Amino acid sequence: MPPPSLATVGLAECRRQTDDSTLRLLTSFNAVIPCTSAELPLPCARSLTERTPFMPKTTTTFPETPSAASRQLPHLAGQTAHPAATDLHGNIENFIGMARVPVGLAGPLLLRGTHAQGSFMVPLATTEGALVASYSRGMKAITSSGGVAAHVLAEGVQRAPYFKFKDLAAAGRFVAWVMGNTAAFQEVTGRSSRYARFQQARPIIEGNSVTLICEFTTGDAAGQNMVTICTHHLCQFILKNCGEEVQACYLESNASGDKKANFQSFQHVRGKKVSVELELPAAVVQSVLKTTPENLERFGHAAAYGSLKSGTIGVQAHCANGLAALFIACGQDAACVAEAAVGIVRLEVTPAGNLYAAGTFPNLIVGTVGGGTHLGTQRECLELMDCYGAGKARKFAEITAAVCLAGELSILSALAEGHFAQAHASLGRRKQ
């Protein structure tokens, strides 16, 4: 008989199957996962009131993610056949099989966002021990503090076509023409895509050449393919109608920021720009994160200086960890972690002695339709958070930003108190 799976026994049984020493370590860092049925939107074979002795009792309840309650996970549990190559058209070429990456649940994560509201269990696909435990600890601190506020500040996905002319005068005339044809560009985009919306073209003149930073919104899709096709049609329209002799034209000139950390996207937006904030009571910082607001603020200053000295874009410790795990689990373009993993995390002691924590992440390239979101395990992971399909991308972006902040709170606390190496030695090494 095969071993029981997450789809049939849930997290309560997974706890019972976990090595006792690992459980004790998780408890020492308070990186434990939920302990009431309201905090756990998954079916369980046994009542969660049958807690193991180390689990503290709590009376706090949070709203469940409706689509995750009582959900079965046949793809994640390995109960379905692998898709055929014909089912993966548009996702892979020369298909030979599936790469199996373990998926763990972190949470619960309580959000008070504009689009994401309630308590969420977050699927993370990783082979890095200690990652899920660390993010769970940060999420526990957030949830115990009443949740994190989140808001999508801006949206936009860019392509950057390049045009070369005879001289600077011709380039200047071209820019003047471009700036007067926004409505025409919007019409061309509307014929090319049902979802993309042309927003603006920001010209960069360099001698006799012009780079146009063409910006679109892309609905609930991440949108890179969408804006590529739309920009191709724009370029064809421009070449036919601009009235200037174009000596060279390239669809993308490596200036859009696609799949690379860059100051342009950091200062503006690429994908969705999301800001999150909360105030953590000092008691929560001490009991869950095992540090103090004062120690976190001091270490935060040291980390900011380190970022400056190393030339990091933004100030954050390891957003790429959570983003890579979340992107792989949820069918996002994993290469976009290169640009998404920038942002500013700020920790300050409040006048009341609590901890103010904020994070702003300007380049979250995420989608809930298209790409790999329709694949079996990826769709199930999105559905666990009620983030699959149309109308869910902003919600997913807010959850993504909150995940980043949770990871920052946990790792910065571990570094501030000297726990970092111990956690990785115990959870990040395979036992022989």
Write down the catalytic residue from 39, 64, 333, 339: 333
Q: Alpha-carbon Rg of the chain, whole angstroms? A: 24
Count of CB atoms situated within 10 Å of the CB of 71 = 16
115 token code pair: 């689009």
Has 333 been annotated as catalytic? Answer: yes
CA–CA separation, 407 vs 393, rounded Å? 21
Q: 91: helix, coil or strand?
A: coil
Q: What is the largest CA-CA distance in the chain?
A: 78
Upper half-sphere CA count for residue 93 (Cβ side, 13 Å) = 0
Q: 26: helix, coil or strand?
A: helix
Write down the catalytic residue from 128, 297, 348, 417: 128
400 contacts 369 by C-beta, under 8 angstroms: no
Report the relative pairing of strands 314-315 and 271-280 from DSSP bridges: unpaired
CA–CA separation, 188 vs 403, rounded Å? 38
Write down the catalytic residue from 232, 233, 374, 424: 424
How many helices, marked H, and strands, marked E, lie in the chain?
Answer: 14, 11
The H or E element containing residue 157 is strand 148-159
Has 258 been annotated as catalytic? Answer: no
Helix axes 319-329, 131-144, angle to 10 degrees: 100
Tokens 């004062």: give the residue: 294
Has 380 been annotated as catalytic? Answer: no
Region for residue 78 given its phi and psi (left: phi exceeds 0; alpha: psi -120 to 50; beta: otherwise): left
Report the relative pairing of strands 148-159 and 343-349 from DSSP bridges: unpaired
Catalytic residues: 128, 333, 424
